[in-house]
Amino acid sequence: MYEAVGLSYNESKKSLIQSRLSQRILKLGLGGFADYIALLEDEAEAAEFQMAVDLLTTNETYFFREPKHYDLLQQELPNFAGKAALSVWSAASSFGDEAYSTAMLLNDMQINGRIGPDWSILATDISHRVLLSAKEAVFPEDRLRAVTPERLRRYCLRGEGESEGQVLLQDKIRQRVQFGQLNLCKPFSGLGPFDVIFLRNVLIYFDPPTKVDVVDRVLATLKPGGLFFLGTAEGRVPCKTPLQTVIPGAFRKLA
């Protein structure tokens, strides 16, 4: 797991790993963890390896998480918008809550004339399963608990009958977000440059050297002066790239 996707677990995570994988081992009819490791090491079992990655990474999220970050975007984005097309990257997008929240905000700002129509959002994740779900854009109502009533009316369709309790995002928001699978721990090319990058709540899975490598690799695609977001609780940014703290969890690239 570490060599392939950078996941790093110490002894304290043993019970978490056991709880996440034990049901899968039973479902496959295997004798135990040793058998499952042998299965994962078989190159012909790439799909099962991806399944294990999905099970070991937590994807709890919701719309407009860390609202002060979105308040900052609303203040700052008009300063970027006059220069060129506005480009945002949600680099650990999970089920798409973060990317779609940003799309709602940007569309509102476009309607109000604060930015132009030329903006785009890229959302990437290592999990194929969560990306498929994100593209469907159907969410439990509770995940949209922080979305204002105005945005719910403007961008969402509430389910009825068998779909009660579910919300479908309208095409005008879905079409603004492009999804793709990406392993942040491996070199990549062809992305960016971006005005804004979110890398929130994913570094917890990496050891310190991997954190630095991932953050610097991601920041290489951010324009000078661009905004970079981590989860507020993640503290200092582990990187060599020069940054300026704007508010907790939000940073400006200096060069």
- Contact in structure between 245 and 43 (CB atoms under 8 Å): no
24 among known catalytic residues: no
Give, for 120, the enclosing helix (H) or strand (E): strand 119-125
Q: Which two tokens stand for residue 62?
A: 């919701």
**Active-site pick, 65, 97, 125, 176:** 125
Closest residue by Cα to residue 59 from 11, 22, 20 = 20
Catalytic site residue from 20, 129, 143, 252:
20
The answer to whether the CB of 93 falls within 8 A of the CB of 124 is yes
176 is catalytic: no
Q: Torsion over CA of 219, 220, 224 and 227, rounded to 10 degrees? A: -20
Residue 141 to residues 144, 147, 172, Cα–Cα distance (Å): 5, 10, 19
Maximum alpha-carbon separation in the chain: 62
Strand order from edge to edge, sheet including 138-140: 138-140, 166-169, 156-158
Pairing of strands 86-90, 194-198: parallel
Catalytic center residues: 20, 125
